[in-house]
Structure 1
Amino acid sequence: MKVLLTTLSAKYVHTTLALRYLKTYVENEFEDVFIEEYTINNNMDYILGEIYKKKYDIVCFSCYIWNIEKTLILCKNLKKVNPNLIIALGGPEVSFDPERVMSQNPSVDYVMFGEGEETFKEFLEKQNKGEVFKHVAGIAYKEDGKIYVNEERPLIGNLDSIPSPYDDDLSEYENKIIYYESSRGCPYNCSYCLSSTIRGVRFFSMDRVKRDLGIFLKNRVRQVKFVDRTFNANKKHSLHIMKFLKENDNGHTNFHFEITADLIDEETMEFLKDVREGLFQFEIGVQSTNDATIKEIDRNVNFEKLSKVVKRVSEFKNTHLHLDLIAGLPFETYDIFKKSFDDVYNLRPEQLQLGFLKLLKGSSIRVNEEKHGYVYKDEAPYEILKNDYMSYEDILKLKDLEEMVEIYYNSGGLRHSVEYIVKNFYTSPFKLYEDLAQYWQENGLFHVSHNKQKIYKILLDFYNEKIKEKADLFEDLLKFDYMSQHKGSLPNFFKRITIDNMNVRIHDFLHDEENIRKYLSQYENVLAKNILKKIEIVNFNYDILLFINKGYDKDIEESITTILFDYDKKTKVFHKSIYYKIQL
């Protein structure tokens, strides 16, 4: 019996933890179980052909909102070319209403719902023996043309009974993200989230977790993304893990956690002060700062405390912070969302993720959709179109604004230029991104793709047309942003500032041993021509570093300044270069 576990991931770098759990759970009894992962960007005929050619007896798909439509098309066509093939589905997108999934998709023979390890094992045992599925908990099946949905399977009490999906050989994860969990379940009951359908939190033992993390550290993987719904729900558990990672840090691997910021206490804060830059990355779900909204979605977040935590962690300058907002929640009008946006933006996280409400199957917000007049797409991912508080026109405006945030804020490449505009010319950050979106619409910029240089040029044009004040200072700042992010010559839309004998001065600077020791110590005994491959030296009309350090005071006087950009910094978490004001 040859079995395939497969899925269509959103991106190549993603890996599916669920499939690996299933395989390791049954591999002692069933040897011919294989994992193949594709992406939603792969050609569908290619996937169909690859699966068909390997002559599987059973194909099991892991189904999510991003892949369900293509998965069902694959199931239909696989059944056409191999009518004897057994097709089973699992995952959150088919677990809520398996009977409907099977009745609408005759090619699907089984749906496994809920926690899958024990169900999958029993499924294979029954298939191997040719027995009926009447008493297999957590499965829907067909018999004599009818669909039967069995009772739910109880959750696994001892998570350590599930074998680890990771061994010492991690070669298959090269250039990919490793997904990991130290717990299952969530202590919260947010109405838009499927985690609220499973009560309680269960933890893997610390010995088990340390063993797995030790493998990741030994192999120097790029990133480990914890999928614990609230990683710091249990402080003792989360702090123990983070301390272990700090003590065994390999100087390379990054660990991403979804946390609740207002649960971070003083002990944890003191610990976080001294971790390596880039060791941790926190994703914090704010979703809204409107009290009525927070109450309606059953979310327990103290934004005042959250703000204090975020500000303090930001001061450490060692941990990336990603804060999330959701547009389309109950009671949140366009103007109220604007306030939520400004509240979160003013915390200056490294990334502000603006998402749109998805009415997931089984979530309480979808069960009660009429209460707030929700209209949403019938197709996955079931994204909001409008509700009683936001029109579709409002949603479209926020879609454009979201793209502006991605380009001008989350990219990190224009941070100083945008901060200068916000501080000096806007009382509301939201209004700036709203104006940028309108400018893009008016100039047809949403309809074509733009390279990185063009993004800077568009912001320069926007400033010169809409703001104008001290345009030469803004251009200098924008030029600094560009050079701090990109090795190479200046784009031609920036003005060049030349000084006499520039090349000779640079040559003399790089041959001065004191300069090398002071600014570029890693290049001692390196030829000047080779150092130039790693740096850029650029002149500015203003002392830009002083301007930034003094909070973008636009009364600064002109003063030609030379800045050296070094792009060989080993840890490039917050900056793509380090830079110094120098004298040539």
Structure 2
Amino acid sequence: MKVLLTALNSKFIHTNLAIRYIREYSRYLEGDDYSVVLREYTINNSIDYIMKDIVKMNVDMIVFSTYIWNIDDIKKICNNIKKVKPEIVICLGGPEVSYDYLNLIEEYNFADFILFGEGEVIYRDLILHFIENKDIKSVRGICYKKNGDVIANDPMPLIENLDDIPSPYRNIDVSEYENKIVYFESSRGCPFNCQFCLSSTLKGLRYFSIERIKSDLKSLIDARVSQIKFIDRTFNANKKIAIDIMKFLMENDNGKTSYHFEVTAHLLDDEMLMFLKDCKPGLFQFEIGVQSTNEQSLVAVGRTDDFDKLTKVVRRISSYKNIHQHLDLIAGLPFEDYDRFGLSFDDVYGLYPECLQLGFLKMIKGTGLRNRSDTFDYEYKDYPPYEILSNKFITYDEILKLKDIEEILEIYYNSGNFNVSIDYIIARYYDRPFVFYEQFSGFFDENGYFDISLGKNKLYEVLLDFTKKIISNREEFIVFKELVKFDYLSLGKQSTIPSFFDRIDVPDYKDKGHKFLQNEENQRKYVPKYFGTPAKNIVKHVHFEEFKYDVIGIKEKLNKLKLNRKLEKVYFDEICEIQTSVLFFYDIDKIFEKSETYRVKI
């Protein structure tokens, strides 16, 4: 019996951990009677391509790992395969089919079995049914049809000892994870009960042994994978285990692999924060779910966050300058209308995380919020990802406005391509960040920019066009334009600079820059990794530019104001016109900045 274990990932860089666990749990069965193929696709692959590839394998059974992002494509693939290869046994598992399996087994005529619950033991027992005639009635965790009747066997109990699952990282094939994110779990379950999250449907928290965790991590570290993303719902639920793991990762740093964790900020106490202070910049990334700062909304969805504590934690970590922080907001929660969401936005924006993700509530099958959606008059899409359309607190038109704001946030904040100019315009001309993004997204919409693809240069030009409506004073606009140019040049070495930026012409500027780089003292001070290197080899990593104002001074002032917890008004009178030469150095670890910048004299 030849079985295909497969998944459609949302991106090429993603990998599916579930099918790897399933393969390993049943690997001991492989032999003359049973073989397995593991294959991953993405939702960007065409249906025809995936079908052709699968059919060419000549398998007897296909097991699909289903999620909200891939179920629609999987349904099409399975339906077509069943028409041309009806003898192939088709099985579906995963969260998208585990909470409505009785209805889905009737709806999906192509499905022979639905596996609900943790899949490792269920899949193993189903294989034993086929190769050793194990009684199908004894295979727990499956739903199927027999003579037109729907049959659901008893649920499979959760695996008590997670170490019973063989490691999917043993004898690792490095090419399998090349240029991809490796997903890793040290635990299953979550101590919290958020009503919009699937983790709330399973009670309890189970851990792999610390010895197993370290052994698996060491295999991946030795393989020099790019990034390991922990999928634990609350990585720091157990402080002792979390510190033990992170200490191990710090001690075994290979100089390449970074680590992403979902953490709960209010659980990060002084001991853990002191520990984090010493980690290498860029080694760890934290994702912190804030969701809302409206206490009534948080209570309604079962969250117990303390925003004051969260604020102190996030700011303290920010002061270390070593951990990338990604903060999440969810639009569409109960008791949070459009205006109140704007306040949540301002609260979280004021923490200045490296990434602020504005998400939209998804009414996922099996969650408490979906089960009581009528209480709040929720209207949502009846197909994956089941995203909210409206509720009694927020209208669809307002959701659409937030969608536009989300796109502007991604382009102009999360990209890190406009750091100084966006900080400046909000600090100088706005009392609230939300109002800036609201107005800027409206400008985008009015001009049809959401409907077309804008290149890099056009994005900078659009920002300047918008701010012309905000900044009436000509000299003040020149200041802002210089800051936008500074952001543009901070990105990396540019072959050309757009004509909408003003340039200061200095005679023999190129030669002066070359002589500057020949000076050993300058090399040691500004580009130490190239000390003793000929200037002609350094110049490809740097750029010199003249500015009418001290743009670095403005940037430093803005950063200081952020450290002081608020971007207060920056008054134009404090900004003096002073021509400044700036050196941009691009060959750096781009963790928080895309270049290093210095005032120089050339």
TM-score range, shorter chain: over 0.9
Instruction: Provide the rounded CA distance (Å) in 2 between the counterparts of 1:239 and 1:92.
Output: 30
SS, match of residue 195 in structure 1: helix
Instruction: Provide the residue aligned with 1:323 in structure 2.
Output: 327
Instruction: Provide the residue aligned with 2:389 in structure 1.
Output: 385
Instruction: Provide the rounded CA distance (Å) in 1 between the counterparts of 2:586 and 2:555.
Output: 20
Instruction: Provide the rounded CA distance (Å) in 1 between the counterparts of 2:411 and 2:345.
Output: 16
* 2:67 corresponds to which of 64, 67, 74: 64
Instruction: Provide the residue aligned with 1:149 in structure 2.
Output: 152
**Contact kept in structure 1, 2:523 and 2:532, CA below 8 Å:** no
Moved over 4 A (4+): none
Shift in Å, 1:418:
0.5
Instruction: Provide the residue aligned with 2:14 in structure 1.
Output: 14
Instruction: Provide the rounded CA distance (Å) in 2 between the counterparts of 1:384 and 1:292.
Output: 19
Shift in Å, 1:515:
1.5
1:404 correspondence with 2:408: yes
* 2:231 corresponds to which of 203, 206, 227: 227
Alignment of 1:210-221 (within 5 A): 210-221=214-225
SS, match of residue 532 in structure 1: helix
Code of the residue aligned with 1:562 in structure 2: it is: S
Alignment of 1:31-430 (within 5 A): 31=31, 32-169=35-172, 170-430=174-434
1:579 correspondence with 2:589: no
Moved more, 547-556 or 139-148: 547-556
SS, match of residue 42 in structure 1: coil
**Contact kept in structure 1, 2:6 and 2:63, CA below 8 Å:** yes
**Contact kept in structure 1, 2:226 and 2:258, CA below 8 Å:** yes
1:511 correspondence with 2:552: no
SS, match of residue 72 in structure 2: helix
**Contact kept in structure 1, 2:514 and 2:539, CA below 8 Å:** no
Instruction: Provide the rounded CA distance (Å) in 1 between the counterparts of 2:498 and 2:280.
Output: 35
1:191-217 CA distance string (max 9 Å, x none): 111100000000000000001111122
1:567 correspondence with 2:586: yes
SS, match of residue 591 in structure 2: coil
Instruction: Provide the rounded CA distance (Å) in 1 between the counterparts of 2:236 and 2:439.
Output: 38
Instruction: Provide the residue aligned with 2:562 in structure 1.
Output: none
**Contact kept in structure 2, 1:417 and 1:478, CA below 8 Å:** yes
Structure-1-length-normalised TM-score: 0.98
SS, match of residue 95 in structure 1: coil
SS, match of residue 109 in structure 2: coil
1:7-55 CA distance string (max 9 Å, x none): 1110000000000000000011125111100011101101001100110
Instruction: Provide the residue aligned with 2:481 in structure 1.
Output: 475
**Contact kept in structure 2, 1:133 and 1:141, CA below 8 Å:** no
Code of the residue aligned with 1:143 in structure 2: it is: K
1:55-113 CA distance string (max 9 Å, x none): 00000000000000110111111111111000000000000011211101111000001
SS, match of residue 195 in structure 2: coil
Moved more, 541-550 or 396-405: 541-550
1:382-429 CA distance string (max 9 Å, x none): 000000000100100000010010011101110111111111111110
Instruction: Provide the residue aligned with 1:556 in structure 2.
Output: 575
Aligned length: 583
Code of the residue aligned with 1:126 in structure 2: it is: H
Instruction: Provide the rounded CA distance (Å) in 2 between the counterparts of 1:129 and 1:29.
Output: 11
**Contact kept in structure 2, 1:473 and 1:542, CA below 8 Å:** yes
1:495 correspondence with 2:502: yes
Kindly, what percent of the aligned residue pairs are identical?
A: 50
Code of the residue aligned with 2:538 in structure 1: it is: I
Shift in Å, 1:168:
4.1
Shift in Å, 1:553:
5.0
Instruction: Provide the rounded CA distance (Å) in 2 between the counterparts of 1:364 and 1:411.
Output: 34
Code of the residue aligned with 1:482 in structure 2: it is: Y
**Contact kept in structure 2, 1:111 and 1:140, CA below 8 Å:** yes
**Contact kept in structure 2, 1:547 and 1:553, CA below 8 Å:** no
**Contact kept in structure 2, 1:562 and 1:582, CA below 8 Å:** yes
Code of the residue aligned with 2:234 in structure 1: it is: T
1:529 correspondence with 2:533: no
1:474-501 CA distance string (max 9 Å, x none): 0111111111112113222111112232
Code of the residue aligned with 1:373 in structure 2: it is: D
**Contact kept in structure 1, 2:286 and 2:323, CA below 8 Å:** yes
**Contact kept in structure 2, 1:256 and 1:281, CA below 8 Å:** yes
Shift in Å, 1:131:
4.3
SS, match of residue 381 in structure 1: coil
**Which consecutive unaligned segments of at least 5 residues does structure 2 have?**
559-569
Shift in Å, 1:279:
0.5
Shift in Å, 1:524:
2.7
1:267-318 CA distance string (max 9 Å, x none): 1010111110100000000001101100010011111100000000000010
Instruction: Provide the residue aligned with 1:459 in structure 2.
Output: 463
Instruction: Provide the residue aligned with 2:566 in structure 1.
Output: none
Code of the residue aligned with 1:386 in structure 2: it is: S
1:486 correspondence with 2:504: no
Structure-2-length-normalised TM-score: 0.95
**Contact kept in structure 1, 2:25 and 2:165, CA below 8 Å:** yes
SS, match of residue 550 in structure 1: helix
Code of the residue aligned with 1:100 in structure 2: it is: N
Instruction: Provide the rounded CA distance (Å) in 1 between the counterparts of 2:21 and 2:170.
Output: 12
